[in-house]
Amino acid sequence: MSLLKLLIFHPILMLSAFTSTADGYYQSTAGKCVYSTSDYSDMVFLVSYSFNKAVDLQYNSTVGKFVGGTEFGVKQAEYFNKNQAYMQQLKANVDTCRHNVQIWDSSVRDKAVLPSITIKSVKQTGGRNPAMLMCSAYNFYPKKIKVSWLRDGKKVSSDVTSTMELADGDWFYQIHSELEYTPKSGEQISCVVEHASSPKPIITHWDPSLLEPGRNKIAIGASGLVLGIIIAAAGLIYYKKKSAGRILVPN
What local confidence, expressed as pLDDT, does residue 118 receive?
A: 96
The one-letter amino acid code at 244 reads: A
Q: What percent of the chain has pLDDT over 90?
A: 49
* Residue 126 burial class via C-beta count within 10 angstroms: exposed 0-12, middle 13-18, buried 19 and up: exposed
What are the domain boundaries of the chain? 5-109, 116-205
Q: Is the pLDDT of residue 214 over 70?
A: no
Architecture of domain 116-205: Sandwich (2.60)
Distances (CA, A) of 151 to 42, 91, 118, 200: 43, 56, 17, 19
The residue-averaged pLDDT of 223-230 equals 64
Instruction: Please provide the average confidence, as pLDDT, over all residues in the chain.
Output: 80
> Pick from 36, 32, 26: which is nearest to 13 by CA?
32
> pLDDT for 109-154, tens place per residue?
668 899 999 999 988 766 677 889 999 999 999 899 999 999 999 9
What local confidence, expressed as pLDDT, does residue 20 receive?
A: 47
Sign of the four-CA dihedral 139, 141, 143, 147: negative
Per-range mean pLDDT, top range of 108-112, 145-149, 167-171, 238-242: 145-149
* pTM score above 0.85: no
What local confidence, expressed as pLDDT, does residue 165 receive?
A: 95
Q: How far is CA 11 from the centre of its chain?
A: 28
What local confidence, expressed as pLDDT, does residue 215 receive?
A: 47
> Pick from 135, 111, 108, 109: which is nearest to 121 by CA?
135
Q: How far is CA 177 from the centre of its chain?
A: 12
Q: Residue 110: CB partners within 8 Å, gap ≥ 6?
A: none
189/150 Cα distance (integer angstroms): 6
Q: How far is CA 42 from the centre of its chain?
A: 28
> Pick from 116, 133, 246, 82: which is nearest to 193 by CA?
116
98/12 Cα distance (integer angstroms): 13
Q: Confidence class of residue 176 from pLDDT cuts 50, 70 and 90?
A: very high
The residue-averaged pLDDT of 46-55 equals 88
179/133 Cα distance (integer angstroms): 5
Residue that wins the pLDDT comparison between 37 and 152: 152
For residues 190 and 202, the answer to whether their CB atoms sit within 8 Å is no
34/69 Cα distance (integer angstroms): 20
249/169 Cα distance (integer angstroms): 82
Helix 84-104 and helix 71-81, axial crossing angle in degrees, nearest 10 = 90
What local confidence, expressed as pLDDT, does residue 187 receive?
A: 92
Least confident of 67-81, 137-151, 217-231: 217-231
CATH 3.30.930.10 for domain 5-109, yes or no, is no
Q: Confidence class of residue 249 from pLDDT cuts 50, 70 and 90?
A: very low
> pLDDT for 1-31, tens place per residue?
333 444 443 333 334 444 444 556 778 888 8
What's the farthest any 2 CA atoms get from each other in the chain?
Answer: 128
Q: What percent of the chain has pLDDT over 70?
A: 73
What local confidence, expressed as pLDDT, does residue 121 receive?
A: 92
Pick left, alpha or beta for residue 152 (phi over 0 → left; psi -120 to 50 → alpha; otherwise beta): left
What local confidence, expressed as pLDDT, does residue 225 receive?
A: 62
> pLDDT for 187-206, tens place per residue?
999 999 999 899 999 999 99
What local confidence, expressed as pLDDT, does residue 234 receive?
A: 65
162/134 Cα distance (integer angstroms): 9
